[in-house]
Chains A and B, each alone.
Chain A
């Protein structure tokens, strides 16, 4: 049995939340973490890969469009297709949609403004590895900081997301109401975060790694990392008891 979960934080040229993510999982959540440079082709056998926030390749062409062709992304796609857990935060979410690991795309914010503020998101499903420490409908306070976070998918795509239960977080009021005023970027159906159909790849625009340290006044991001750690430790224990 293993006591710590291994996180690999991918660093692209232009990533700027890589240290925050590393700090969140290693120092705050007390797990193992290592950086993986975008030119590396070895992820180092992690349990979870984090694609962090930032402006990979200066957001040239489209956010995430160039990063998805980084050598490391071949390994990330392979890892995800074999059931490995991948968490994409902000720019990481954009990269996941560009790489085809998550559906849809992230457009320029409807306001055309860069938004940097706390948002409230409602947990739409608490039976996933990313949200199991949350109560259904729980409201988390997690900050956003992006210019291109306007989640878009066409009507059919939205129906698929809803039918498959792929929407994990929606922007909401502090009381958990889904209202237009609480949507910081114009995302369709107030979508803040989605998961793939297999349930192992999640992307979200809010930054849970910026909401883990009480010194900074918010800790709700811990619920997401905590959910992952609990579910992976449990899985480990289950397979341990099967094989021993």
Chain B
């Protein structure tokens, strides 16, 4: 049976790398008066469907795609979460 997994992948700059865009937005939030907001980082959000035998295979494929294309390991990290499952 084919299963469709819906995955969400979040790509962020590595913690050690300065995120000037995040800093600028954080300043904007402070300008609105929210002094209690900090450590803001901006990243990319990717969602996709993947046909796989099981959740593990779906996750493996997403990790491969993440490492080979969606994120550049020199400067970025990424997380994968398998969100929904639809049996077809």
Q: Do A and B come from one complex?
A: yes
Interface residues of A (CB under 8 A from B): 61-62, 65, 69, 97-98, 103-105, 107-112, 152-154, 186
Contact of B21 with A61 in the complex, beta carbons under 8 Å: no
Mark B52-73 against chain A: 1 for CB-CB distance below 8 A, else 0. Answer: 0000000000000000011010
Q: How many whole Å from A190's CB to the nearest CB in chain B? A: 16
Q: Given the complex, which residues of B lie within 8 Å of A62, measured CB to CB?
A: 72
Q: Evaluate whether A152 and B75 lie within 8 angstroms (CB atoms) in the complex, with A61-B69, A61-B70, A107-B17 already known.
A: yes
Q: How many whole Å from A73's CB to the nearest CB in chain B? A: 13
Contact of B69 with A152 in the complex, beta carbons under 8 Å: no
| Cα A114 to Cα B75 with chains together (Å) | 20
Contact of B20 with A105 in the complex, beta carbons under 8 Å: no
Mark B16-27 against chain A: 1 for CB-CB distance below 8 A, else 0. Answer: 111011001000
**Is B32 an interface position by the 8 A CB rule?**
no
Contact of B70 with A110 in the complex, beta carbons under 8 Å: no
Q: For B73, give the chain A residue with the smallest CB separation.
A: A105
Contact of A152 with B17 in the complex, beta carbons under 8 Å: yes
**Is B37 an interface position by the 8 A CB rule?**
no
Q: A152 touches which one: B20, B21, B44, B74 (CB < 8 A)? A: B74
Contact of A153 with B21 in the complex, beta carbons under 8 Å: no
Q: Given the complex, which residues of B lie within 8 Å of A103, measured CB to CB?
A: 74
Contact of A105 with B21 in the complex, beta carbons under 8 Å: no
Contact of A98 with B72 in the complex, beta carbons under 8 Å: yes
- CB contact list, B68-87 vs A, under 8 A: 69-70, 72, 74-75
Q: Given the complex, which residues of A lie within 8 Å of B44, measured CB to CB?
A: 61
Q: For A154, give the chain B residue with the smallest CB separation.
A: B16
Contact of B17 with A111 in the complex, beta carbons under 8 Å: no
| Cα A107 to Cα B13 with chains together (Å) | 10
Q: A105 touches which one: B18, B24, B69, B72 (CB < 8 A)? A: B72
Q: Evaluate whether A112 and B21 lie within 8 angstroms (CB atoms) in the complex, with A61-B69, A154-B16 already known.
A: yes
Interface CB pairs A-B, < 8 A, 20: A61-B44, A61-B69, A61-B70, A62-B72, A65-B72, A69-B69, A97-B74, A103-B74, A105-B72, A105-B74, A107-B17, A109-B20, A110-B18, A110-B20, A112-B20, A112-B24, A152-B17, A152-B74, A154-B16, A186-B18
Q: B20 touches which one: A69, A97, A108, A153 (CB < 8 A)? A: A108
| Cα A129 to Cα B34 with chains together (Å) | 55
Q: B74 touches which one: A69, A109, A153 (CB < 8 A)? A: A153
